[in-house]
Every structure is written in structure tokens, then in C-alpha cells.
A and B are shown apart, each in its own frame.
Chain A
């Protein structure tokens, strides 16, 4: 079966541009997570969806970051007015349940470089 997919795999943006990153979770997975991974670091949590509801956005670093999952499947992470410090790999993960104990399966990530 298909795993988590993300697009684009690489994105170069000029400072100040808006970008949109897409995540297709594993079919049927209820929970979806976004993480940010800086170079040489472990992933850090950004936000969490249960179906279409965004239940936790405590990790979003600023109001320039916005995520949505309108139909409970595909999710988009949008970054407005990108800054150089936004350069990182953005990882999406999904899990089948909603109890919170299930294993998260990750996509290949989107590597964002802001010039």
C-alpha cells in the first residue's frame, strides 16, 4: 500500500514569498501531524489534526504558519512571507487511530530553502 506522500520534495523560495506544502496521508488514517526538522536536529512538532479538526497547533512558530485539512484527508501547510529561518525539512506523519498511542508513519519530507 501507498505510504505518506509529500509534495514538492524540494522548494526554493525568495524571502517574503508564500509557500504551500502538501501532505497525502495513508488512506484511512485519522490523525495527521506536521513536524519541522532543522539541519542536524530531530523533528519538532508543529501541529496535529484529527480528521478535519486541528486539535493542537502549539508548535507553530508564528502566525505566518497556517495548516488545514478541510476534508480530513490531504493537508496543506502554508508559510506566508517566508524568512530565512524557515529553511528546514517539513515532515508529515499520519496514524490510523485517535487515541494517541498509535505509531506515526512519516513521509519523505519537503526540503524548503529560503534565500
Chain B
């Protein structure tokens, strides 16, 4: 069965600090996909990134970067020089070949203080 664990329930940082959100996953499949979504107070889930299990290259997009490590089943997300607009709940999700639906973690609430 699939499982996603986001152990950090809430993180509070001051603007311009770097912050890393942890995600650990479990799956028996060798082919799977990992996602990060952002949920601002408005409620809509905003897609951030998708990674395939066979591509372990880390990725950087502006102030965002992702570290995918199959050896530790982790897919961590780092925000560099955080801004108040980054305040939201961030969800990590997994999709393997067993089902079409996403399995989500419980989310990490990030608060960036000015």
C-alpha cells in the first residue's frame, strides 16, 4: 500500500530564511510519481512539481528546489529566501501504478513572518 508521511505539522520562519519541508513515502512499485502541491488560504491546490521514480535529478525552479533520494524514499522541498507569500499548506503526494488516485500526506503548514 502507498503511504506519504510529512512529519512536520507546522513550521514558522522569518522572511528571507531558507526552509525545507520533508516528505517520506512508501510504495512497493518501482515506477511511481511524486508531487508537491501548495494550498494557500483560498483553498485551491496549486501544482508545483512532478517527479518520476526513474529520474533522480534534483530540480531548481527560482527559489524552489527539490531533493529526490530513492535510497531514503524521500522527496524534500526547499524554499530559499522565503517570502510572506509562501505562507500556505504544502502537500506531498504519491501516485504509483496500483491506482490512478493520488495519496497525499497530511501537509505541512508554513508560516513566513515579515
Contact = CB atoms under 8 A, between A and B. Distances in A.
Interface in A10-35: 31, 33, 35
Q: Which residue of A31, A41, A104, A111 has the most chain B CB atoms within 10 A of its CB atom?
A: A104
Given A103-B35, A105-B47, A42 B97 contact: no
Interface in A21-80: 31, 33, 35, 40-45, 48, 55-56, 59
Contacts of A33: 100-102
B95 A42 contact: no
Interface residues of A, number: 26
A48 B44 contact: no
A59 B101 contact: yes
B91 A42 contact: yes
Interface of B: 4, 33, 35, 37, 42-47, 50, 52, 91, 93, 95, 97, 99-107
Contacts of A48: 100-101
Nearest to B101: A45
A101 B99 contact: no
A109 B44 contact: yes
A75 B104 CA distance: 22
Per CB-CB distance, the 5 closest pairs between chain A and chain B, nearest first, are: A42-B104, A45-B101, A106-B45, A108-B44, A100-B100
